[in-house]
A = this chain, B = another copy of it.
Amino acid sequence: VGDAHPARRVTLAHVAARAGTSQATASRALAGDRRISEATRRAVGEAAEVLGYVPNVAARSLRARRTRTLGLLLSDLRDPVHGQVAAGFEEEAVVAGYTVIIVATGGRIEEERRALRVFVERRTDGICVASSVMDPTEAMERVGSGPLVIVQPDHPCILQAADALPPGTLRTDDASGMEQAADHLLAAGHRRIAYLGPGEKATDILRRSTAQRVLHERGGVELRVGVVPEDAWERPGEVAGALGQDPPHAVLCYDDKLALALLDGLRARGLRVPDDVAVVGYDGIPFAALANPRLTTVSTPTAEMGGLAARWLLDAVGSGSLAPARLLPVALAVRESSVRRARTTGRRREPVMAGRG
């Protein structure tokens, strides 16, 4: 034998030798096995301490057939929403003594497949797939037997079987969220309303069509639709431009990033929010509350969702069965961006086209 690795690592055998016990006893002592006498337990503990023994998780996992690892697939760690989900997930995993592997996919399905492969190779005890564009069925097939939780799937399946989703599916109630938002705008008297979104994602379609339906049914209002690239929020001018030359009086945005960009873009065009245009976001990221005007938004329990996903997985590791699909409630947070201020001079409602068009 003889790998060319000089770094001598302390193994359980060394600890056992120093403690004067067998390897098995040392193993049990360190594991806190009640059957080991207090004396040897201390002896082993001391030996481990002195030698600086650190168990090798790879060996343990191989033997124990479990890794105490959870896999988390998400599209972008930069995104506040995903950050929240990841944070909640990680926190919950940690308290259970689990470690989290995170793979960001950028929303590319090939990367998502690669991520799942990574998780399976590493024999994670559970896998969470967040905001994935992959067909949940495909995800399940690729994952195989281990527990799989799917959070906020961004696949057309969410459009059809509203609640007939497979166990382990966790979503926020998009329909309810958009309904609340649309109702809010109608109640405020708006009739020229637009929706701004990326235009392709399933979540986008769900939110948009819900708004469309609600506005039509309850207000007889036809929703105008503007489409912008997913990264358009980095270019506020483009976002505002998507509203066209004859801007609506209210805008429902696909998410807060877009809404915040819209706020900026409208300001650049000389349009005041909410006086000229009301804006509603979606997600409830922290910065929405700090915008000027403060952004009205559908507040979603993102961190809680991440935490719950982890708990589901951990429970499934024990029980072998996954919790039934669940729709988490959301709530509209009404703030300044959609509420006309009383102090302004009356409610002029002419198609305002101030500023540089």
- In the complex, A270 has a CB within 8 A of chain B: no
The answer to whether A264 touches B286 (Cβ under 8 A) is no
- In the complex, A292 has a CB within 8 A of chain B: yes
A96-104, A171-179, A184-192, A194-202 - interface stretch: A96-104
The answer to whether A62 touches B65 (Cβ under 8 A) is no
A31-39, A115-123, A132-140, A324-332 - interface stretch: A115-123
- In the complex, A162 has a CB within 8 A of chain B: no
- Docked CA distance A83–B62 (Å): 32
A341 → chain B closest CB, angstroms: 13
A20-28, A52-60, A216-224 - interface stretch: A52-60
- In the complex, A283 has a CB within 8 A of chain B: no
Residues of B within 8 A of A264 (CB): 289-290, 292, 294
- In the complex, A90 has a CB within 8 A of chain B: yes
- In the complex, A5 has a CB within 8 A of chain B: yes
- In the complex, A210 has a CB within 8 A of chain B: no
Q: List 26 A-B contacts (CB under 8 A).
A: A7-B145, A54-B120, A54-B121, A57-B121, A58-B62, A58-B122, A59-B62, A77-B77, A77-B83, A77-B87, A80-B80, A83-B83, A86-B102, A87-B104, A90-B104, A91-B104, A94-B103, A94-B104, A99-B101, A100-B103, A236-B290, A260-B287, A263-B290, A263-B292, A264-B290, A291-B291
Top 7 closest A-B pairs, CB basis? A292-B292, A77-B87, A58-B61, A58-B62, A83-B83, A57-B122, A287-B287
